[in-house]
């Protein structure tokens, strides 16, 4: 079981609820080591002095800010702690807002708030109040000496603390060439809009996060397993799937694509449909299925 990041309080108004801040995500990345290609031995990253080339032990390493080229100001651990808010191990709720007023670009990383012993009443009171009012709490929280903006959101029986990005961390979309005129300015017809809407509705389904997997990680894991079996030998590169016929064209017949998409919709998700086609394409064109072969044999024997 994961260890708490810290144990403190969830505070709003005069109500303080003892909680533990627990990780809300786990890393499933495949981690790699750098090796010397000649001996296949690991490469070690050493902390060396840029001028002398000598290795520097951790106890002699300090944090510093380069305020101009070649000039640094050294910061001590107490300097970092003093910059944090007064509430150290605490989630200090400062306001309540409607959840749909916060754009998705602001949400960054989830944690779970787990109530302390005999703190269930305050926890449930806070959770149910958020649910009934349709609000989420905007709070500040300190994690490992750094202060973050965060949102306290009810999720089923849990309270989830989601780190938020500050506005100054986001790029204004107006800095990019994003289409900002009405659909008619791009010659999008009403019929095209209607068909696109029908396509979306035909593909609508309940959100089932467990049905989606990190396919890249799975494929990479298979490549690694094959490398292990061949003891580092050369593995043939798999043939890449052909691009769709309209992939490289700039002029697209949207009506034709929408009609084709609607006509090919059978109720299954696009991912499942694609995998089914891939499975059928792997069969040899000149070889009949076992069922058809048995059928022909029965006709011959009769």
Contacts of 273 (CB under 8 A, 6+ apart): 264, 266
**Cβ atoms within 10 Å of 131's Cβ, excluding its own:** 12
- Percent of the residues in the chain that have a pLDDT greater than 70, as a whole number: 77
Least Cα distance to 21 among 39, 9, 11 occurs for 9
Q: Which of 24-33, 73-82, 125-134 has the highest mean pLDDT?
A: 125-134
- Give Cα 160 to chain centroid, integer Å: 16
- Alpha carbon distance 122, 109 (integer Å): 24
The tens digit of pLDDT for each residue in 56-100 reads 988 899 888 888 888 888 888 778 777 765 556 889 999 999 989
Q: With 0-12 CB in 10 A as exposed, 13-18 as middle and 19+ as buried, what is 158?
A: middle
The tens digit of pLDDT for each residue in 226-235 reads 877 877 554 4
Does residue 135 have a pLDDT over 50?
yes
Domains of the chain, first to last: 8-23+88-199 (2.40.290.10)
Do strands 63-68 and 158-164 pair parallel, antiparallel, or not at all (unpaired)?
A: unpaired
The tens digit of pLDDT for each residue in 223-271 reads 878 877 877 554 455 554 554 554 444 556 778 877 888 887 654 444 4
The tens digit of pLDDT for each residue in 136-156 reads 999 999 887 788 999 999 999
């Amino acid at each position: 079981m994961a260890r708490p990041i810290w144990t403190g309080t969830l505070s709003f108004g005069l109500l303080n609820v003892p909680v533990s801040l627990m990780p809300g995500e786990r890393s499933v990345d495949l981690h790699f080591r750098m090796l010397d290609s000649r001996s296949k031995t690991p490469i070690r990253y050493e902390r060396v002095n840029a001028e002398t080339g000598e290795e520097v032990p951790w106890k002699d390493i300090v944090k510093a800010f380069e305020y101009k080229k070649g000039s640094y100001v050294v910061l001590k651990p107490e300097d970092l702690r003093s910059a944090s808010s007064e509430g150290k191990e605490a989630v200090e709720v400062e306001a309540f807002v409607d959840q749909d007023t916060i754009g998705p670009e602001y949400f960054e990383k989830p944690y779970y708030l787990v109530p302390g012993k005999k703190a269930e009443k305050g926890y449930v009171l806070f959770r149910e109040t958020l649910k009934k009012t349709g609000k989420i709490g905007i709070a500040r929280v300190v994690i490992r000496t750094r202060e973050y903006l965060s949102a306290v959101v009810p999720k089923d029986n849990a309270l989830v603390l989601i780190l938020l990005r500050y506005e100054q961390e986001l790029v204004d979309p107006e800095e990019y060439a994003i289409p900002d005129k009405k659909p008619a300015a791009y010659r999008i017809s009403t019929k095209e809009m209607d068909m696109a809407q029908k396509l979306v509705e035909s593909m609508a389904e309940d959100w089932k996060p467990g049905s989606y997997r990190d396919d890249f990680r799975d494929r990479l894991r298979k490549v690694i397993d094959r490398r292990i079996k061949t003891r580092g030998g050369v593995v043939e590169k798999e043939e890449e799937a052909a691009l769709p016929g309209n992939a490289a064209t700039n002029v697209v017949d949207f009506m034709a694509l929408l009609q084709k998409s609607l006509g090919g919709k059978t109720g299954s998700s696009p991912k499942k449909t694609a995998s089914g086609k891939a499975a059928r394409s792997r069969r040899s064109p000149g070889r009949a299925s076992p069922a058809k072969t048995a059928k022909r044999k029965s006709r011959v024997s009769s």
